[in-house]
Structure 1
């Protein structure tokens, strides 16, 4: 049985989350050059689906984005049904102060192998401007060890901050205008899709990958 997150832990979380986007520029010096490997194979970015899939989808989202939430279940359904898609999660907290709280909770849970349960729990909260308490409650209900989560968010605060900063830089570099954003193989999709939309763009991406590109 997991422990409840205490009021003291909650306050410490809120204080830490405020630092996520204000690291000294020197700490980000190595993050400024955006590479394909950074986008698709950042070892710190959580992944789902088939790790050896023949197609990669990169998902840029915010836990306060209703459109991201609307696209999340269709995307996961298509990934599961297809069986040959690798999914890369890029937390992109740009819409609301509590978006950073959500990103920290999910990425902190990664260190105990609970990123995906927390991600799904946060995506299942309806609406925009979700209160911190609701995010923490959803995280607790996802089965995390609260004490370990608190310790991991503290110990890995700089790592989480750098990862989010990389995601912000990548989104800017590839020209995303807002959430949600997807890279589906060679295609950029900057809008929410339904199940049929994902199926169609996946098929188009695979067809494009099989077509020799002119130099």
Structure 2
């Protein structure tokens, strides 16, 4: 398990740009979907790809930690780097956010086992999850520029953090570059909180 400390000081910013790699943009990008406790005392950022089997393996333990801990703010960074279908999946998930269904689209695609999942199988999973597909397609077209900007920003942020692949996690001030079990997530979260508590 590779755990390293990171982050330069934050700078004040308005709306993050396509290339904004500041701490503020990584943790508090208003365009990035979030979960968990919005007022949590610990930020946990996950960089993932819908075709990453290791992301899928860690996802239940990640969500278990967020639920049982109760004080973690989860930030999703769609980082489609594995296949062209990964890009389409990320676009669909982010378009689903406009109908308040990002979590449903995300869960549906993360539940598909394996890697190199074709686009049509991912789309069927979203349909099965009950999303309004006409609205999703319309939102994807209407918000294409914003979605593309967010995906490019996520890529720039991953590059700035030296990430090499998925999954990758930012837990408080730590970067973790491997899939984790529930116990390891708990351990890193505890260490991150202890570090935050230091003056």
Q: Give the TM-score of the pair, scaled to structure 2.
A: 0.91
Which whole-Å deviations, capped at 9, do the CAs of 1:128-182 have from their partners, x for residues lacking one?
1001111001111112101100100000011100000000000000111110000
Structure 1 or 2, whichever has the larger Rg, is: 1
Task: Give, in whole Å, the separation in 2 of the partners of 1:121 and 1:198.
Answer: 23
Q: Structure 1 unaligned runs (5+)?
A: 1-28
- The answer to whether the aligner puts 1:143 opposite 2:130 as a matched pair is yes
SS at match of 1:31: coil
Task: Give, in whole Å, the separation in 1 of the partners of 2:125 and 2:145.
Answer: 24
Once the two structures are TM-superposed, the CA of residue 104 in structure 1 deviates from its matched residue by 0.8
Q: For residue 45 of structure 2, what is the aligned residue in structure 1?
A: 58
Q: Structure 2 unaligned runs (5+)?
A: 1-15
1:27-42 correspondence to structure 2 within 5 Å: 30-42=17-29
RMSD: 1.0
Residue 90 of structure 2 is aligned with which of 82, 85, 103?
A: 103
- Structure with greater helix share of residues: 1
Residue 173 of structure 1 is aligned with which of 145, 151, 160?
A: 160
- Tell me if structure 1 keeps the 8 A contact 2:56–2:111: yes
Task: Give, in whole Å, the separation in 2 of the partners of 1:71 and 1:30.
Answer: 30
- The answer to whether the aligner puts 1:88 opposite 2:90 as a matched pair is no
1:1-215 correspondence to structure 2 within 5 Å: 30-212=17-199
Q: Give the TM-score of the pair, scaled to structure 1.
A: 0.84
Q: For residue 9 of structure 1, what is the aligned residue in structure 2?
A: none
Count of aligned residue pairs for this structure pair: 184
